[in-house]
């Protein structure tokens, strides 16, 4: 690795060591055990949205002044399947308090929250679960084979769903080998009939989603055509997620036609005056094209 992702990985490890000093894993696990089970991720249609809350984007700068409560509540009203909360502090101005606040608001509504960060150690998955998260994002390029297996094992123990973020064919091949060969029960096959709820993956076998990020996290350049290019390489039997660069209903329709069942939308919703309406329009476009 080199560039932005390298910097983020190093910063994440520093935060990890600081957190371990403040709270040993044994104490953190005690908090996890006291935290209620988060809602499962349920996809009721052939196309759904992950709505993201983040204060800042490295590419776009500060993303408005909307308060967390009104923004994530609007996401729920619009029909988001889950809400991604960015907890990275330096480049995205996030923290675990944002995650906990979102979980407190959305758990009663049956909507899980997902921790999005540059996660490098199972300790950070425990942090997410203690804050009320139901899922986490893992970036394939940041994790060796052994580290990826360890993180997936931890997610399984904590019943967190996992979004595996890939950028190219090599990432997809690594993710596919680990999920399909190492731990096949983690790959959940969902029915595709319109309007049929996706099953709760249950205890011990959280859903693993395969994402393609069209933003290169080393250079921050966006290549929208990457969604179409990578779609044939994604394995069957798992939900496919399009991440980054999705700003319009037409973008949602395009990725839905390529077989993506979820789209992660952040900046376009953070800067929208009526994010609930934007979500409804995006969902309608994606579902019409799916």
- Helices 68-78 and 275-289 meet at what angle, rounded to 10? 30
Q: Give the span between the Cα atoms of 40 and 76, in whole angstroms.
A: 15
Q: What is the pTM assigned to this prediction?
A: 0.89
Relative to beta strand 61-62, strand 135-139 is unpaired
pLDDT at 192: 37
Tell which phi-psi region holds residue 204, choosing left (phi > 0), alpha (psi between -120 and 50) or beta: left
What are the structural domains, with CATH classification, of the chain?
4-35+43-191+206-289 (3.20.20.70)
Please answer whether residues 256 and 290 qualify as being in contact, where contact means their C-beta atoms are separated by less than 8 angstroms: yes
pLDDT at 1: 46
Closest CA to 40 of 127, 133, 151: 133
pLDDT digits (tens, 9 = 90+) for 219-270: 777 887 899 999 999 998 889 999 988 999 999 999 999 999 999 998 899 9
All residue ranges of the chain with pLDDT < 50 are: 1, 181-205
Q: Give the span between the Cα atoms of 92 and 115, in whole angstroms.
A: 13
pLDDT at 123: 98
């Amino acid at each position: 690795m080199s560039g932005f992702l390298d910097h983020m990985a190093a910063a994440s490890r520093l935060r990890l060591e600081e957190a371990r000093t403040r709270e040993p894993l044994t104490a953190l696990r005690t908090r996890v055990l006291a935290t209620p089970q988060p809602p499962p991720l349920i996809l009721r249609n052939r196309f759904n949205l992950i709505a993201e809350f983040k204060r800042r984007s490295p590419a776009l700068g500060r993303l408005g002044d909307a308060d967390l409560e009104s923004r994530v509540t609007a996401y729920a009203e619009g029909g988001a399947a889950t809400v991604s909360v960015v907890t990275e502090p330096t480049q995205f101005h996030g923290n675990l308090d944002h995650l906990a606040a979102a979980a407190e608001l959305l758990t009663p509504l049956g909507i899980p929250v997902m921790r999005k960060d540059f996660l490098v150690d199972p300790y950070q998955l425990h942090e997410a679960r203690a804050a009320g998260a139901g899922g986490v994002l893992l970036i394939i390029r940041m994790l060796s084979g052994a580290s990826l297996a360890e993180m997936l094992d931890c997610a399984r123990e904590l019943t967190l769903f996992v979004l595996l973020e890939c950028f190219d064919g090599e990432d997809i091949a690594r993710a596919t080998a680990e999920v399909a060969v190492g731990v096949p029960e983690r790959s959940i096959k969902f029915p595709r009939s319109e309007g049929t709820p996706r099953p709760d993956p249950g205890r011990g076998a959280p859903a693993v989603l395969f994402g393609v990020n069209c933003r290169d996290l080393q250079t921050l350049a966006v290549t929208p055509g990457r969604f179409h290019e990578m779609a044939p390489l994604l394995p069957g039997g798992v939900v496919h997620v399009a991440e980054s660069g999705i700003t319009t209903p037409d973008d949602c329709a395009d990725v839905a036609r390529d077989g993506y069942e979820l789209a992660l939308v952040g900046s376009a919703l953070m800067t929208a005056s009526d994010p609930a309406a934007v979500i409804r329009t995006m969902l309608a476009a994606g579902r019409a094209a799916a």
